[in-house]
Amino acid sequence: MDKKINVNDLGEKIVKMIKTIFDPEIPVDIYELGLIYDVFVNEDFDVKILMTLTTPNCPVAETLPVEVEEKVMSINEVKSAKVELTFDPPWSKDLMSEEAKLELGML
């Protein structure tokens, strides 16, 4: 018997998937790094992710958003995934989780 997934459960699955994507220069996933500002999931399971990069001229500016879209699209229930890049507000170390700061020896 298939259990129908709800929007909140799908949101959790999306965050888990995003946590498998690591910044190429820092050994921390992009979620804990604070690069993901928001994840929106509508009732049709269309996903929009608002994210930033550590700098506007980040070497992975072209590839990282595509990787996020592809990984999120690999979740069966997701109908579509779109990443929107923003630099407002700009990323700062303050956006990092305690876990990321600990990993990087900043605590």
Predicted TM-score (pTM) above 0.95: no
Torsion sign across C-alpha atoms 79, 86, 63, 21: negative
Specify the pLDDT at position 58: 85
What are the structure tokens assigned to 25, written together?
Answer: 């220069």
pLDDT score, position 2 = 44
DSSP classification of residue 49:
E
CA–CA separation, 23 and 35 (whole Å)? 9
- For the chain, domain boundaries: 7-84
Superfamily of domain 7-84: Fe-S cluster assembly (FSCA) (3.30.300.130)
**Tens digits of residue pLDDT in 66-102:** 999 999 999 999 999 999 999 999 999 999 999 999 9
7-44 pLDDT tens trace:
889 999 999 999 999 988 888 999 999 999 999 999 99
Q: What is the DSSP letter of 97?
A: -
Higher pLDDT, 92 or 107: 92
Measure the CA–CA gap between 107 and 105, rounded to whole angstroms.
Answer: 6
